[in-house]
């Protein structure tokens, strides 16, 4: 390849890389903004015979949220928490009762139900997990 062709190829590669980096920079800016944004959700658990409730309360990181818990909660149980960025909202009621347990969990954001689940059985575990609304 002669010197002129090599210079043209190099110039095209640099131009492509520059355009790619500026697009990448915009994406990084959007992620940074989403990670710093906070949002509030309300968790609600109803039913009977619930032994404990675990939930993301806002501590930790998006990939390793700190799970807070309440033992022997009075039902209906409701808690509003502030979460950050891409951290998912999650509430996990646990019930184990020979008479049978019944549990419904709900996650609400700005009056809109993001997730709702119900279960009935001898042992009930699981819960509700919702994607962060700031990723939208």
Between CA 48 and CA 30 the distance in angstroms is 43
User: Average pLDDT in the 95-112 region?
Assistant: 87
Binning pLDDT at 50, 70 and 90, where does residue 16 land?
very low
pLDDT attached to residue 48: 85
Place of tokens 């697009």: 23
Question: Does the CA dihedral 37-64-44-113 come out positive or negative?
Answer: positive
Between CA 67 and CA 93 the distance in angstroms is 12
pTM tops 0.75, yes or no: no
């Amino acid at each position: 390849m002669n010197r002129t062709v090599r210079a043209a190829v190099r110039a095209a590669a640099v131009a492509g890389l520059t355009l790619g980096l500026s697009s990448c920079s915009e994406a990084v800016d959007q992620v940074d903004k989403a990670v710093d944004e906070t949002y509030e959700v309300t968790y609600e658990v109803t039913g009977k015979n619930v032994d404990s409730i675990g939930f993301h309360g806002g501590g930790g990181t998006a990939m390793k949220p700190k799970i807070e818990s309440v033992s022997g909660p009075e039902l209906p149980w409701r808690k509003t928490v502030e979460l950050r960025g891409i951290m998912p909202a999650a509430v996990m009621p646990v019930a184990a009762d020979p008479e049978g347990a019944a549990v419904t969990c709900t996650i609400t954001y700005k009056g809109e139900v993001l997730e709702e689940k119900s279960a009935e059985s001898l042992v009930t575990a699981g819960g509700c997990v919702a994607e962060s609304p700031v990723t939208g």
